[in-house]
Amino acid sequence: MKTNIALLTTLLLALTLLGPVQAQFPMGGGSTQPKALPGTAGDTRPTGTAKIIGSVADSAQGKAVEFASIALFNKSNDKAVDGTVADEKGKFTLPKLPAGQYRVLVSFVGFRNKTIDNVTLVDGQNLDLGSIKLSSSIKTLEEVTVVGQAALIEEKVDRLVYNAEKDITAKGGDATDILRKVPMLSVDLDGNVSLRGSQNIRVLINNKPSTIVANSVADALKQIPADQIKTVEVITSPSAKYDAEGSGGIINIITKKNSLQGLNLNIDSGVGNRGAQLALNGNYRKGKAGFTLGGFGRAIYNTKTSTSLDQSSEVNGVQTLTRQIGDGRSSGMFGQYNLGFDYDLAKDQSLTAGVRYGVRNFANQQDLVTQLFNNNSLTSTSNRNVDAKNLSGTVDANIDYLHTFKPQQEWSISTLYSRNDLTNNFDADLLNSSRQLTSRQRNLNSNINQEFTLQTDYQTPIKKNQLIEFGGKAIFREVNSDYKYLVAGPSGVFSTEANNTLGELTYHQNIAAGYTSYTYTTKNRYTFKGGARYEHTFIDASTREGGNLGVGDYGVLVPSVNASKTFKGTTLKLGFNRRIQRPGLQQLNPNFNAANPQVIQVGNPTLRPELTNNFELGVSKTIGKTFVNATFFGRSTNNAITQVSQPSDSLPGAIVTTYQNIGRQHSYGINLFTNIAFTSKINMGIFLNGFYTSLTGQAMGRDRVSTTFTNTGVNISGGSFLNATFKNGWGAQAFGFMQGNQVQLQGTQGGFAFYTVGVKKEFKDKKASVGLAAENFLNNRFNIHTVLNSPLFNQTNDVYLYNRGIRLTFTYKIGKMTMEAPRKKAKSVNNDDVKSDGQNQGGGGTSNGGGTPRQ
């Protein structure tokens, strides 16, 4: 272990020392002015012997306006001829210009544009425009009139962006309500998220990971209020800069932040028939410093489920039939609190820090009635009342530093500490057919998941249209699970179960990573981005009862290549990347979860990572007021972490589900999305996801020997939304979604439909708003029908969820703030390397402190 730490520390130290060395990658040409930037067209400037120089300053204070934009236009046809950006002293140069008549436009955020007409150049002339004064366009928030709005869904070069702040119907909900509406994503009624049919995704919050997300994506999403989400980014072809983990892709949830000067406080509240919430978020910014403080609490109630289970199995020649019905009730309290700070150390350096604490207290009560039949004869009837608790507390703390040398040239150091204390306990009362208490059971399972991350990144342009990036990262991760089963009679104290079912898992996982990435843009608007990342994982895993588990270290090289071409309103994109998926706590945890003794789950601490190759080809085009996007994709996974079920040898009628590295999965499909703007105030979007999947894996055959199984099928999901904005601050929105059957190795999980409508009223000063939303109001309940089959068992499971809801929301803003130029914030740690559970078969990052999206 000490050797591993030494290797990781050495790697990070070396990369840190290399970061600031500018001489390794000169800007080219000896000029301090940035040329054509990566990701745009190549340098198409004309050649000549004339030159324009000048400087840009604030008319009020006389200070230089750093990085102001200067554009040069031909007077005869008003076409752009050249352009540049002022340096940190406000100075600029436009060299190698031909003789002619020109117009100069100077602009920068927070200032009024300045135009200089009738600029005449002759060959060999050096024209000095002197100091160009820009006047401030600062207004108070009350004076600003919004005349346009961002589209609900946008496509960017490497990601799809859902602008959640434009979503009326999500107010009063959580992140699950937002993600259901994002194209390419599917969210089942338990909150499990899949991207293009894969649940092997990584969810980040403001580009940062969190141990609570690593434990359970579904639980983490319930703790993020929908009102605080600004955008959701879906990244299907990540570059080498991202961690190699997340074989299906990356989902980055960006929360709202305020960069305005002054003090403000936002109050968001909501109440409905199934939940209520209250959030308070404050921001204060003065000069170089900014502070954020927020708190959020949510209560969930009136959540009911019903289950019906029929399963048959054969063990030692005895046929056992299980029939079970159940009724469940769930309730929970969620909360999160955050504190953030950012400070501009100098004009080119910034420091960001934040701490977040999240708490969850979730309870589930279930009453089960079970009948067992042996060879078609009823042998027993039992009643079981289960009281399960899911409790957790999560702490995330980060400190990030960014040094910007010149535009596009920067070096950052990021640190993150994250810890999640998770408790999964249940108490069960066993009653006979006369409902007399006969015995009691208790399962205690305490888990700790903590990690510390150190990361450094450096990027710089080389020549005119190229960008190189490289960096390194070290993650020190520890997982611990302590579990035991206790039993007792109808009264008295609990004691250890006779089979001594107790133990402890200690799992150390340290990761050293390094990457390099190169971007090149041609004059014909072809953009190529390629890179490679190497990650080496050191593992030390042991159990109290079995000692060292012998899980070996491993390394993996993950390349990525992306190319794009834009012409006449059409964009083509081609991408390939390799990703890995490491097992998470729920897959590793050896605790024998028998809350429902007929449907048992247990982890596998010897799991290895899975490896996936992803391909995609996308085309998007704007036709009038209609935007259309189609993406074809292919995914091939080897050594897949797969759920496998088989009959228990010791518990009659029980089916035990665990995880094994035995699967291969191939998927090929298409994502379609279109957005139609009927008018400036009414637009509609339609999205459709469809893919064919083939799964192959090993499971127990009738002869009790491992046998190869294959299952294939088509998965389809889709949805539509309609947005309308009316006069006097009124707005309305409707949304519907359909999820078809999902193919699994040993069967299928049923689909469902979901819909919601909402209206919102904003008052004249925009400081207050009221909203009303209703969901699934025409249906009493949903049915998730799951079927599993194998030579040794058959299982049919129906889960009925009562999901009709209505909620009223209220928002109020306090404070008066003024606008300022955008601030360059320090980048943050981005751990996207662990598989969450999210594998339900239907049976019984800090959010503050800023951080810029990764490119």
Task: Residue 341: name the closest of 280, 400, 382 by CA.
Answer: 400
Q: Where are the domains of the chain?
A: 270-815
pLDDT in tens, 779-831: 878 888 999 988 888 999 999 988 888 999 898 888 654 444 445 555 556 56
64, two tokens: 């230089």
In angstroms, rounded to a whole number, what is the distance separating the alpha carbons of residues 307 and 744? 20
DSSP 403-468: EEEETTEEEEEEEEEEEEEEEEEEEEEEE-TT--EEEEEEEEEEEEEEEEEEEEEEEEEETTTEEE
Beta-strand relationship, 599-601 and 655-677: parallel
Contact at 8 Å (CB) between 245 and 196? no
CA atoms within 13 A on the CB side of 837: 21
pLDDT tens for 757-783 read: 999 888 877 788 899 999 888 887 888
Q: What does the pLDDT read at residue 302?
A: 86
The helix (H) or strand (E) run that includes residue 103 is strand 100-107
Going from the C-alpha of 649 to that of each of 316, 646, 731, the distances in angstroms are 9, 9, 60
Distance (Å, whole) CA 346 – CA 39: 28
CA 638/CA 289 separation, integer angstroms: 49
Write down the pLDDT at residue 32.
35
* Rounded Cα–Cα distance for residues 666 and 745 (Å): 12
Rounded CA gap, 688 and 717, in Å? 6
Instruction: Output Rg (C-alpha) for the chain, integer angstroms.
Output: 29
Residues of the chain scoring pLDDT < 70: 1-46, 61, 109-110, 136-152, 155-158, 168-172, 188-191, 197, 208-216, 219, 247, 257-262, 500, 699-706, 815-855
Query: Cα(516)–Cα(532) distance, rounded to whole angstroms?
Result: 6
- C-alpha 393/C-alpha 336 separation (Å) is 9
Q: Torsions phi, psi of 379, nearest 5?
A: -110, -30
Written as one string, the DSSP assignment of 610-637 is EEEEEEEEEEEEEETTEEEEEEEEEEEE
CA angle, corner 622, sides to 621 and 624, nearest 5? Answer: 150
Nearest to 647 by CA among 717, 691, 723, 701: 701
pLDDT at 396: 93
How far apart CA 236 and CA 616 sit, in angstroms, is: 9
Model pLDDT, residue 766: 72
The DSSP symbol for 274 reads S
**Hey, how many other C-beta atoms are within 10 angstroms of the C-beta on 607?**
21
C-alpha distance from residue 670 to each of 631, 638, 675, 690 (Å) = 6, 21, 17, 6
Which tokens is 344 given?
């501009």
Q: What is the 3-state secondary structure (H, E, C) of 491-531?
A: CCCCEECCCCCEEEEEEEEEEEEEEEEEEEECCCCEEEEEE
Exposure string (b/e) for 547-581, b if CB count within 10 Å is 16 or more? eebebeeeebebebbbebebeeeebebbbbbbbbb
Which secondary-structure segment (H or E) carries 294? strand 289-315
Distances (CA, A) of 175 to 223, 229, 231, 398, 831: 8, 8, 11, 22, 20
Q: Is the CB of residue 274 less than 8 Å from the CB of residue 808? A: no
Is the CB of residue 331 less than 8 Å from the CB of residue 304? no
Asked if residues 12 and 474 have their Cβ atoms less than 8 Å apart, the reply is yes
User: Beta-carbon neighbour count of residue 271 at 10 Å?
Assistant: 15
Note whether 440 and 429 are within 8 A (CB): yes
How many residues comprise the chain?
Answer: 855
pTM recorded for the entire structure: 0.72
Rounded CA-CA distance 36/466 in Å is: 9
| Tokens 């518990």, residue located | 651
In the sheet where 160-162 sits, what is the strand order? 153-155, 160-162, 229-235, 249-255, 201-205
CATH 2.40.170.20 fits 270-815, yes or no: yes
HEC string for 818-834: ECCCCCCCCCCCCCCCE
Element (H, E) at 101: strand 100-107
Spatial separation of the C-alpha atoms in residues 53 and 70, rounded to whole Å: 11
Q: What is the pLDDT of residue 168?
A: 65
Q: Are 381 and 370 in contact (CB under 8 A)?
A: yes
Which tokens hold the place of 640?
A: 């897949």
Alpha carbon distance 524, 44 (integer Å): 10
Three-state SS at 704:
coil
> Which of 619, 538, 419 has the alpha carbon at shortest distance from 11?
538
d(CA 84, CA 99) in angstroms, rounded, equals 18
